[in-house]
Amino acid sequence: MNARIDEPAARRAYYDRIAGHSLKPLWEVLAALVPAQPATDAVPALWRWADVHPFITESGSLITAREAERRVLILENPGLPGQSTTTSTMYAGLQLILPGEVAPAHRHTQSALRFVVDGEGAYTAVDGERVTMAPGDFIITPMWTWHDHGNPGDEPVTWLDGLDIAVVRMLGAQFRENHGHEAQPVSRPEGDAAARYGSGMLPVDYAPRNGVTPVFSYPYRRSRAALARMADGPRHRCHGIKMRYVNPATGGAPIATIGAFLQWLPAGFAGAPYRSTDGTVFTVVEGSARVELDDRSFDVGPKDTFVIPSWHRHRLHAREDTVLFSFSDRPIQQALHLWREHEEA
């Protein structure tokens, strides 16, 4: 009679031997690699403005914008320590620029958005054109475009940065170049891009370039007015009135890798449960609401930022008229036919 083999011990010994040849058994990790539904280490998280604002202010006394290059506090997801990401693919941070400062010009293959949270009078310059920043403005710096920030005003300005750093890192396509001058030369008057490309017309010889929007500033006053005009119209049962920012030349996302949205929840709105595969970063622009998840809930107010990871069921309840800005990797998922959503009855 053959002696019974100790299968667990034999397998461990086998795994140890093949590890020396950089081999790993798929059957030991298959369930984690190909799960039945999305699984992410990212967790729902909330950064209250009242908690983080003192730290943002303090950073201004510890390091200059020139020294830091970008004075930003990363909103690092508690489930992803050390990875400098807010969802599994998106980076978010709060950037401060003080009066008289300039954050030096550079460019990189990562695409970025800015959403102004607090203060006004600073500017972002993109490829030779400056735009003055006001609270609620949505501004983008497409990949490989020169950009710098300055504050000729008399008050500190803070904005939310959103970048596709994790996506570009995963693809091994990170590149950066410094401009050589602290502020890039201004070659076009402010408002030039909006006049050429954002008025429902395009120059007769315009040709789309790499899917990048030719308009890089979306003023909040205009976006908010659009939401207000739709207040008496139909409302989505989960989102209230939700609009996506678009490239006016193509109708697609302003950034190929990042989708951005603005939504209005009327006072008393109680959204139906919802989930989607794009982990999403939200910032409260106006009002207050309650965010309910399966295992927790939290109240949010003006300038608070929170994140809902991929496929996490949640509901939005507005205590008063509330406006939310949000961004995610939805354009990537849609381009790859991976994006899914689910609305519960």
User: pLDDT band at 209, cuts 50/70/90?
Assistant: confident
How many DSSP H helices and E strands does the chain contain? 8, 22
234 by DSSP, 3-state: which? coil
> What length does the chain have?
345
How confident is the prediction for the chain on average, in pLDDT?
95
Q: What is the pLDDT of residues 126-184, one digit of tens each?
A: 999 999 999 999 999 999 999 999 999 999 999 999 999 999 999 999 999 999 888 99
Whether the pTM exceeds 0.85: the reply is yes
What CA–CA distance (Å, rounded) separates 151 from 136? 17
Domains of the chain by residue range: 45-343
Q: What is the pLDDT of residues 21-38, one digit of tens each?
A: 999 999 999 999 999 999
Q: What is the pLDDT of residues 50-105, one digit of tens each?
A: 999 999 999 999 999 999 999 999 999 999 999 999 999 999 999 999 999 999 99
Q: What is the pLDDT of residues 103-124, one digit of tens each?
A: 999 999 999 999 999 999 999 9
Dihedrals phi, psi of 304, to nearest 5 degrees: -70, 150
Question: Beta 241-244 vs 314-318: how paired, if at all?
Answer: unpaired
Element of type H or E holding 229: helix 220-229
CATH 2.60.40.10 fits 45-343, yes or no: no
DSSP for 155-178 reads S-EEEEEEE-HHHHHHHT---EEE
Residue 52 pLDDT: 98
Is the per-residue pLDDT at 1 higher than 60? no
For residue 107 the two structure tokens come to 């460019």
